[in-house]
Amino acid sequence: MPAFNPFAIPEDEFEEEYVRPSSGPGGQHQNKTENGVRLQWNVAATALLTDAQKERLRVLAAPYMQGDLLVVMERTSRSLARNRERARERIRELALAALPTPRKRRPTKPTKASKERRLKDKAARGRIKALRSNRDPDL
């Protein structure tokens, strides 16, 4: 399987739909044109990612997932071209975030010195609290 290049997602893997209205200034024109973009990428069907990367992408992009589809809406600009580019960039960013394999956690143990310090501090704290009571602190 070739290494995934996030900037080379083939255009035929995207499904694009134009929606209206987009936000921002524009008056009557923006109310009549469809310049918002709804971009879909079928994560299950792509050959660019390994199964592990697809699973990480599903977890990372859970709010954007609809079944096997990664769906991004972009309508922050009046420009259709700018909205299309921003939608593709958001999908690239999500795909990039899923690429690195998380490092496995190696369990650690406290050192002997840190255990001794903790017990010494605990004993000192106990003596301070014992002095606050009305009983004999040596009990």
Q: Which CATH number does the domain housing residue 65 bear?
A: 3.30.160.20
**In terms of domains, do 136 and 82 share one?**
no
Provide the domain limits for residue 66: 11-98
Tokens of 98: 């899923």
pLDDT at residue number 106: 92
List the beta strands (DSSP E) in the chain.
14-19, 36-42, 65-66, 69-74
Q: Is the pLDDT score of 14 beyond 80?
A: yes
**In terms of domains, do 78 and 42 share one?**
yes
pTM higher than the cut 0.75: no
Closest CA to 98 of 47, 50, 53: 53
**In terms of domains, do 87 and 119 share one?**
no
**In terms of domains, do 112 and 133 share one?**
yes
Whether residue 82 is contained in a domain is answered as: yes
pLDDT single digits (tens) 72-131:
998 888 788 899 899 999 998 988 888 888 889 999 999 999 999 999 999 999 999 988
**In terms of domains, do 33 and 94 share one?**
yes
**In terms of domains, do 17 and 84 share one?**
yes
pLDDT at residue number 30: 60
Whether residue 56 is contained in a domain is answered as: yes
The domain tally of the chain equals 2
pLDDT single digits (tens) 39-76:
999 988 888 888 998 999 999 989 999 998 999 998 88
Taken in order 21, 24, 29, 35, is the CA torsion positive or negative? negative
